[in-house]
Chain A
Amino acid sequence: MKTIIDDIRARFSVEWEHEQRADLAQIGVAPGTVVPLLTWMKLHTPFVQLNHLSVVDWLEDGEFQLTYLLTDPHGHRSLMVCTRIPREEATMESVHELWPQAVTYEQEINEMFGIHFPGSPRQGVPFILEGWDDLPPMRRDFDTVAYMHAHHPSRPGREHVDPRVYVGKVFGERGYLHDDD
C-alpha cells in the first residue's frame, strides 16, 4: 500500500493520506487531480476496478465530498480517493469513459445530490424518483420528515417516545442498558 501511495505522490499532489486497514488506504486530492489520477491508475497500476462512487454532504463546510473506491482485484487491496467540491453549483468531471458503470453512479448522484457531471450520458434522466420537484433528497438540508408531513398523511394514533425518557420511566433513572457512568 505504501509503495502505491509513494508512486502517486511522485506524480500528483496529495493533500492527505490515511491507512485505515492493511488492505484499505485513503488519500485526499484536489478536484482537478481526480480524473488524471484515476486515468493513470487505471492504465498503469493494478487498481483497475471502480468499486463505487459515493458522495458525502458536509453541509457545515459548504462542500460535497466525492469518494472513489478503486480496487486491485488481483492484489486484494483498495484505495479510496476523496475530493471536496463546493456545494454551490456543484460540478465534477465525469469518469464514465474509464468505467462504463460509472454512468449509473453519476446518474444517481445527479438525481440524489444535484451534482452535475458534464458529458456523462443520462444526466438529468430520472433514475429512482419520478415526478420529483423538491430539493435533491439526499442533501442534508432536505428535511424528509417535513416532506412526509406535507405529502404522506399518517394514521392518527402514532406516538413518539423519547427513548431516554421511556427507559428512565420504566427501568428507573439509570436505565437498564450497560452504562458505566
Chain B
Amino acid sequence: MEKRKLPVLPVAAPPEGSRPHAPLGEGCFLGEEELPKAPALKEALATIKNWFRAQSLWVMAYGTGCGAIELRPLTTARFDMERFGMAMRPTPRQSNVLIVSGYLATKSLKRVIRAYEQMPSPKWIVGLGSCTINGGMYWDSYNTINRLDLYLPVDVYIAGCMPRPEALIEGFKYLMERVKKGEANGWHHYLENLDWYKANQKKLITDWNLPDYNW
C-alpha cells in the first residue's frame, strides 16, 4: 500500500482575532477517497466513524502540569472514566487524546509537540486549567506560555484552577459530542496550517532540534 502523504493544502495564517480552528465543513477527514461516491452513503459512513471515535477516547498518560493530579482520581471507581470508554495509555502511539494539564514551560512545550505529532490521527487536545487559556496565575512568568492554541490546536478547554474531576468529565463529554458531530477537527487544522504553527513554535523554542514533523 502506498504511504499516505501529508495533504498539500494552501497554507494561510489565520487572520488576526479569528478562532484558530473554525469548523471545516467536511466532518470526516480520513479516507475521503476510499469512501463511496454517493453523498448520502458517504455521510452515513462518516457519522458511524465519528460515533465510534467518540466512544473510544484513549488518553495519553503524560502529566504535563499540576492538573494531572486530578486525572488519577478519574480512573478510580469513584469517578470512573472507563464508563465513557476512556482509558489511560502509556505511549503516544496508542492514544488519541492529549491532555495538556496546565501551564507549559517552554522546555515542556517542545516535548508536548513531539508527543502530539507522534500520536496517530485522529487526535484531539484538551487544554486543562486556566493557564492553558491565558496564562492563568503565571501570566507574567518568563518561562510559561500564555496561549496554548498558538502552538497546538486545542479542541476543548476546561477552565479552572484546578478543575474538579466532574469538570473534567463534563469537558470530555463535550469533546465526545464535538467528535460525534465531526466538529473536533483540530488535528486537521494543524496539518492545514502547519507552517503557521511551526513558525509560532520555532519563534519561541530557539534551539529547535526536532524534525519538522515527528512521525
Q: Are B107 and A153 in contact (CB under 8 A)?
A: no
Residues of A contacting B150 with CB < 8 Å?
153
Interface stretch of the complex, out of A15-23, A48-56, A143-151? A143-151
Does A3 make an interface contact (CB < 8 A)? no
CB pair B142–A154 under 8 Å, yes or no, is no
Which of under 10, 10 to 19, 20 to 34, or 35 or more describes the interface residues of A?
20 to 34
Interface residues of A in 126-160 (CB under 8 A from B): 128-131, 133-134, 137, 142, 144-145, 147-148, 151-158
Closest CB of chain A to B100's CB: distance in Å? 15
Stretch at the interface among B42-50, B55-63, B133-141, B189-197: B133-141
- Considering only CB atoms, which chain A residue lies closest to B207 in the complex? A131
Instruction: Select B110's contact among A130, A133, A147, beta carbons within 8 Å.
Output: A130
| Cα-based distance from A128 to B141 in the complex (angstroms) | 14
In the complex, the chain B residue whose C-beta lies closest to that of A142 is: B142
Contact A144 B141 (CB under 8 A): yes
Contact A155 B133 (CB under 8 A): yes
Per the bound structure, the CA–CA distance linking A145 and B145 in Å amounts to: 13
Main secondary structure of the interface of B (DSSP, over half): loop
Task: Give B203's nearest chain A residue, CB to CB.
Answer: A151
Which residues from chain A sit less than 8 Å from chain B, CB to CB?
Answer: 128-131, 133-134, 137, 142, 144-145, 147-148, 151-158
Residues of chain A contacted by B53 (CB below 8 angstroms): none
A to B CB contacts below 8 Å, 7 in the list: A130-B107, A134-B142, A137-B143, A152-B146, A154-B135, A158-B134, A158-B139
Are A148 and B206 CB-contacts (below 8 A) given A155-B133, A155-B146? no
Instruction: Kindly state whether residue B144 has any CB partner on chain A within 8 Å.
Output: yes
**Any chain A CB within 8 A of the CB of B205?**
yes
Nearest 7 CB-CB pairings of A with B: A131-B207, A147-B142, A155-B134, A130-B107, A144-B142, A152-B146, A131-B206
